[in-house]
Structures are given as structure tokens and as C-alpha cells.
Structure 1
Amino acid sequence: MKQKVIVQLVDTLDLGGTERMSVNLANTFQEQGWESHLVVSRQSGGLQNYLNPEVQVHFLEKKSFKDLKAFWRLSKLTRKIKPDYIHAHSTSIYWAVLLKMLVGSFKLIWHDHFGLSDQLEENKRSEMVILSKWIDRFIVVNHKLLDYWQKLLPYRKNSIVYLSNFPYLKLNESIQKLPQFTFLNLANYRPQKDQLTLIESCKILDNEGFDFRVLLVGQQVDSNWETQIKQKISEYSLQEKVRVNGPSEDVTSLLAEVHVGVLSSESEGLPVSLLEYGLAKLPVICTDVGNCAEVLKSGELGQLVKVKDPKLLAEAMKHSINNYEEEVGKAQQLNQYVLEEYGALKFFESYQKLVGAVK
């Protein structure tokens, strides 16, 4: 049987959810016997270190949407590789559609990771109605996106499917926990991730005399938002409690040494960070957004709190500190559930069925 050849398109290899999924997929395709290529439009980043050596990585050094030299490099590369499938992540679909118009000898898959799934009416992206003519299959990361696109494109309903994100980590369980009780917020710095509510909760815990630490770890996406975070930490004199870090190139060690994973987002799809918390057997506190309740079985496998409610989030944090063994028990169950329902092999089997149905 001829080896399948797949090319993924992604903007960067910075430490974001979309980028992590592109790396997870590249590794999984390669491990399952496909010829796996990852084309990075703009720049590399810390996630390049997580790619299997057998994955073939290409950089376009794209400067703007109208960068004709970069697009020519992509076109030339596509003609050389002759892929069966091109899998475009998020906004990479625009160049992928242009490529399909010019080359057209591959099946085009669009992977929509749109994180503001609770604000779809304010972000319609109606141009996709026209572009959908050249897209063979649509993958969405939560049910709200699925409903949205199936209503907007009713004639393509059977081509639009929900496939959950999946984590891909090789954990080192010999690493010791930090001496202070530590919460990890693994999320890029932008308003959607709402770290400010988490800081408000930290103020409540600090005022009540709790001994804890919070690590904020992520890529600077919105510099103004990161500035607001630092100002709020300073205003509340939490510099000894809350640390603002850049992206980590050793997420596996970070996950192993903290005690609880926290997400305080106001909107999500299916956050890869949540699945990584589960894979790392971390107790979880998460806002009830996107598909988070589905992953946590409506609170059975972790604590769910309302969006923008620092008091409830603080109560959940206090519960984790005071009832840690109970939460560790939930984390063990979450780990098993993530492995069974959100594992790489399950995704690949579903993916094979999806692309195999393309005529």
C-alpha cells in the first residue's frame, strides 16, 4: 500500500494550543506510518523541540499575506512533495485555498481551532462560505463550532466533523513536587484567558493567610494584557505569590512539579492545556466554557467554576489545598478518561475515516 503523504500548514511553532496540536498531529502521523510534513508559515518557536526527528519541517519565512516569494516557496514545495492531504490550521486556510486553486491535486482539510466559541456571532467569518467550495473536510474542536458551521453551511453538513484535541506528552514522574503548594495556569497572555480573575482569587487566598504559589506560563500575545496582569499583581502586593513567566520549553517537567492545573478562561474551544493537566494526573480547576465540562464530566473529574467569578474560583483553590488527596483521586480518574477518550490513537482512527471518505 502506498504511504500516505500529509502536509500541515501552521503559522508558527510558538507555545499555543493550535501550534501544540499541529506538533501532536505531526508526531502521530509519523508514528502511524505516514510521511509527515509540517510547513511553518512565519516563525519557529519552543514547540519545535517537541517534534519527532522523522517529521520533515519546512519554513516559509512569510512576512505578510501578500508575500509572493513565500507563497511561491509553498507552491514549489507542494509540487515536489505531491501530498495526498493538506491540513491547514486556523488562518492558514486562506493560503491553502489559494494553493488548491493553483495546484489542486490534493485533498484539503481545514482545522478550525477558533477559541472564542462563545462569541461566534461577533466573529462570523462569513468569507468561509465562499472558500468552502475548495475545502474537502472541516474539523472543529468543540460542539458550538460544529453547530455554527453546519447551520452556516447546511449543504456541507456531512463534511463538517468534531474531533477533539488530544495531548501528546512523555512525562517524567520521578520529578519531585515543589515545596510550596503551586497552581499552574498554562495559557497565553490575552484577554480570552482571563488571568486577571485568577489574580483576584489569589488576593482572596492571600488575605486569608493561605500559603501557596501561582505560576502563569504562556506566550505574550497581547502585550497590553500582560502589562495589566503585572500591574494587578503589584497593586495587590502578590509578587511573592504569583509569577509571570514566558513560554516554557519544558512543559513536561513543569506539569510534574506543580500541584494543581488552573484555567480561568472566559472562552475556550477544547483547551489542550486541560488535556495535558489530565495526562499529567494534576487536579484541575477550570471555568465552565467550551468543552471543558465534557472533559471533566460536569465536575466529577475536576472542579468547574463560573466565568469571571473570583470568589468561586478562590473557593475551588482553597478546596484543592485543604482536600488535596481527594482531588488527586479525581485526577487519577481524569487521567484514565483522557487516555481513553482523547488519546492520539483514537484521533488518528477517526481521522483516517474522515479523510478516507473524501472522493
Structure 2
Amino acid sequence: MRVLQLIDSLEAGGAERVAVNYANGLLSSVDGSYLCATRAEGLLKSNVNKRVGYLFLKKTKTLDFKAIWTLHRFVKKEKITLIHAHSTSYFLATLITILNSKVKLVWHDHYGKSEFLQQRPQRVLKYCSNYFNHIFSVNLKLEQWAKTCLNTKSVSYLHNYAVLTATNLKTDLKGVDGKRVVCLANLRPQKDHFNLLQAFQILVAKYPDWTLHLVGKDFKDEYSKHISKFILTANLEQHIFVYGSCNDTSAILKASTIGVLSSQSEGLPLALLEYGLAGLAVVATNVGDCSQVIQSDKTGLLVNPKDELSLFKAIERYIQSEALRDEHSKHLQRLVTHSFSERNTIQKLTNTYLGLN
């Protein structure tokens, strides 16, 4: 079995990290493991194992015939038997399987707005789903949606797993050791950074020595500009720091104390798993499958989305009790290590591959 992971870019996003993790993790389980970035490379390229067969297509438009032909030839040359397409790369993958009828196609749905599925465009996806041999969904809502709305008979939920690669701290991390709150999330509206900013505005008035660190791709769009404006207007420049994408994420997490996600919608965020592996105490909004990882008052604290006061109070509980932080972080680390391990997930992945018709 020779498997190609197909992803649009290698920027530091959740779906991208999953594609890289799978390409690396499958090396000992399949005859050949490959990774193709269709549109852009990025920070995660350095995490790709040298034994993974790699292709960068430089695709520039939806129907890029040069890119289609290049991938078609690559699939034939490397004798790839299965394409595992992540997120929006399903369209290109469908075209390739039409050209290579013996190649099986698995689609991995990482849709980050699972709380708003009624707004999801589905016409092209529904057509392409006729060619999918299987769909993996990153949470239970997406699994049910695929079974109801798409034309693929074989659908299953497959939870994410995280890998923290040990790195030295290269980022000029502000703040005081032991008093850093980190949010690992690309600057996208569904991540609702404003909920967290408003909570931290309340928090700083009581705990001025604590700082907030936003790590994730900055798209330099209106959402990003509003975040910068909020920080300036609220005079929080010495308390809230925006870093963009970083290639020393594991070191940043190790240098932090509390991990936070304040999203309005999620699948099963890799950030929560990475917080757990790094030994952080975690506060998250109760959306998507976050509750499978953060079991309130056991492995972390869950709050309602769009409720900055509840978010503030949860972070404050951790600030006030180092013992609570230690207890929850140890339970979370144990849960992530045992229940969201690479070994278990890769085994489920290969079993599904082998069972495809």
C-alpha cells in the first residue's frame, strides 16, 4: 500500500499538521508514504520526515492543468494506491482518481465551523463525494453531517492526535516565567480572539503581571487589524503579544502556564492535545468535540462560547491555585498520551485503508 497525503499548504494550521503527522506516522506501516502540498509550502515543511516522498505542485487556480498533469504523473510513477485528501484538496484528488481509476480516495473533513454547518457550501463537495471510498470526520457533528448530506456510504469519526517536536526557544517571548497564558490558533473569526481579549482586559486589572501570547498565522486581514486596534485602544500592548506563525511552538508551550481556546466553533482542536502534551492547564470553550479532551474540573475548565466573564473567571481560578493547575494538567497529559496517541490513530487509519472496497 502506497499512500499520498494531499493538502493545500504547509502553513501551521490544524489540517496541515494532521497531514504531516500522518505522512510521518505511516512510514513504518505502509510500503510508501507521500505528501503533496498543492498551493503553498510553509513552516511545517521542516517537520516532514526525509523518508516521506514529497511533491510541491505550485497550483495557482482551481483548474490548473499543469498541476493536475504533474500530480497524475507522480501518482503513476510512484505507484500510489490511495490518496488521503485533507480539507479542500478533495477536488483535485477527485480529478486524479478519475484519471487513475485504480487509485482509492479518502477524504478527511477538518471543517472548522461545525457549529454552523447549515451555512456550508456543498454542491461541488456532494458531487465529488460520489468518488470517495471513505470519509474521516474530525468530530461527531461532521460525521453525522457527512452521512446525511453526502453520497459516500463509508464514513467514520477519527480523532486527531498531536506530536510535539522538541525545539529550542527562538521566539522573543515576552512576559514573566510562570505567568504566561498562550492561545495557539490562527487568526480566524471562528477562533473568536475578541472573546479572549475582552476576558484578558478584565484579568489584567487584577493581575497586571500576567501576559497573553497569541501564536498562529496572521492573515493581515480585517480580523487581524481589529485585533491590533483592540490591543492599542485598550492600552494592552504590555500585556498581550501577537507573534504570528512560529516554528518553535513546543518551546513556547513549555514556557507557558495556561493554554486557552476561546472559539465559537471547532472540530477537535490539535491545540488542546498539544497543550496537554506540553503539561499546560487548559481553559476552552465548549464547542465541537472539545469536551472529549477537556472534561471540566478534571482535565481542564470548559466555559460557554462568547462569554468573556466566564472565560475570565476560569483563567482566574488557575491563577489563584497552582495546585489546581498541576492537578488538571497532569490528568490532561495522561489522557492525551493514552487516548489520543499516534500509535492508536495510525492503527485505525491503516485498518480503514485496508478495508476499503
Normalised-by-shorter TM-score class: over 0.9
Q: 1:123 aligns with which of 120, 124, 132?
A: 120
Identity of aligned residues (%): 33
Task: Give the equivalent residue in structure 2 for 1:58.
Answer: 55
Are the aligned partners of 1:93 and 1:110 in contact in 2 as well (CA < 8 Å)?
Answer: yes
Unaligned runs of 5+ in 2: none
1:202 is displaced (CA, Å) by 1.1
1:78 is displaced (CA, Å) by 0.9
Looking at structure 1, the residues matched to 129 and 181 of structure 2 have their Cα atoms a distance apart, in angstroms, of: 42
1:103 aligns with 2:107: no
1:166 aligns with 2:156: no
Write the mapping of 1:314-333 to structure 2, written as runs, cut at 5 A.
314-333=312-331
1:293 aligns with 2:288: no
1:170 is displaced (CA, Å) by 3.3
Write the mapping of 1:32-111 to structure 2, written as runs, cut at 5 A.
32-111=29-108
2:286 partner letter: D
Task: Give the equivalent residue in structure 1 for 2:348.
Answer: 350
Looking at structure 1, the residues matched to 230 and 95 of structure 2 have their Cα atoms a distance apart, in angstroms, of: 45
Looking at structure 1, the residues matched to 215 and 165 of structure 2 have their Cα atoms a distance apart, in angstroms, of: 19
Cα 1:82–1:217 shift into 2, 3 Å? same
2:113 partner letter: L
Deviations 1:25-78 (A, max 9, x none): 111011435411100101110011111121121100011112111111111111
1:68 partner letter: F
The DSSP-based 3-state class of the residue aligned with 1:290 is coil
Are the aligned partners of 1:10 and 1:39 in contact in 2 as well (CA < 8 Å)?
Answer: yes
1:113 aligns with 2:110: yes
Are the aligned partners of 2:168 and 2:248 in contact in 1 as well (CA < 8 Å)?
Answer: no
Backbone CA RMSD of aligned residues: 1.9
Q: Which runs of 4+ in 1 moved over 3 A?
A: 31-34, 170-178
Looking at structure 1, the residues matched to 2 and 83 of structure 2 have their Cα atoms a distance apart, in angstroms, of: 9
Task: Give the equivalent residue in structure 1 for 2:223.
Answer: 225
Cα 1:328–1:34 shift into 2, 3 Å? farther
Cα 1:230–1:171 shift into 2, 3 Å? same
1:189 partner letter: L
Cα 1:43–1:124 shift into 2, 3 Å? closer
Task: Give the equivalent residue in structure 2 for 1:243.
Answer: 241
Task: Give the equivalent residue in structure 2 for 1:212.
Answer: 210
Write the mapping of 1:145-294 to structure 2, written as runs, cut at 5 A.
145-153=142-150, 156-157=152-153, 159-171=154-166, 178-179=176-177, 181-221=179-219, 223-294=221-292
Q: TM-score, normalised by structure 2?
A: 0.95
Task: Give the equivalent residue in structure 2 for 1:15.
Answer: 12
2:160 partner letter: N
1:236 partner letter: A
Looking at structure 2, the residues matched to 299 and 248 of structure 1 have their Cα atoms a distance apart, in angstroms, of: 31
Cα 1:34–1:344 shift into 2, 3 Å? farther
Looking at structure 2, the residues matched to 194 and 134 of structure 1 have their Cα atoms a distance apart, in angstroms, of: 35
2:108 partner letter: H
Unaligned runs of 5+ in 1: none
Looking at structure 2, the residues matched to 206 and 195 of structure 1 have their Cα atoms a distance apart, in angstroms, of: 16
Looking at structure 1, the residues matched to 122 and 55 of structure 2 have their Cα atoms a distance apart, in angstroms, of: 28
Are the aligned partners of 1:178 and 1:257 in contact in 2 as well (CA < 8 Å)?
Answer: no
> Which segment drifts farther, 45-54 or 120-129?
120-129
Are the aligned partners of 1:171 and 1:256 in contact in 2 as well (CA < 8 Å)?
Answer: no
Looking at structure 2, the residues matched to 165 and 55 of structure 1 have their Cα atoms a distance apart, in angstroms, of: 20
Looking at structure 2, the residues matched to 299 and 342 of structure 1 have their Cα atoms a distance apart, in angstroms, of: 20
Q: TM-score, normalised by structure 1?
A: 0.94
Looking at structure 1, the residues matched to 141 and 219 of structure 2 have their Cα atoms a distance apart, in angstroms, of: 24
Looking at structure 2, the residues matched to 174 and 210 of structure 1 have their Cα atoms a distance apart, in angstroms, of: 24
Deviations 1:152-211 (A, max 9, x none): 24x744x10000011011347999995250011000011111111111011101222442
Matched residues, number = 354
1:9 partner letter: L
Are the aligned partners of 2:135 and 2:155 in contact in 1 as well (CA < 8 Å)?
Answer: yes
Are the aligned partners of 2:14 and 2:269 in contact in 1 as well (CA < 8 Å)?
Answer: yes
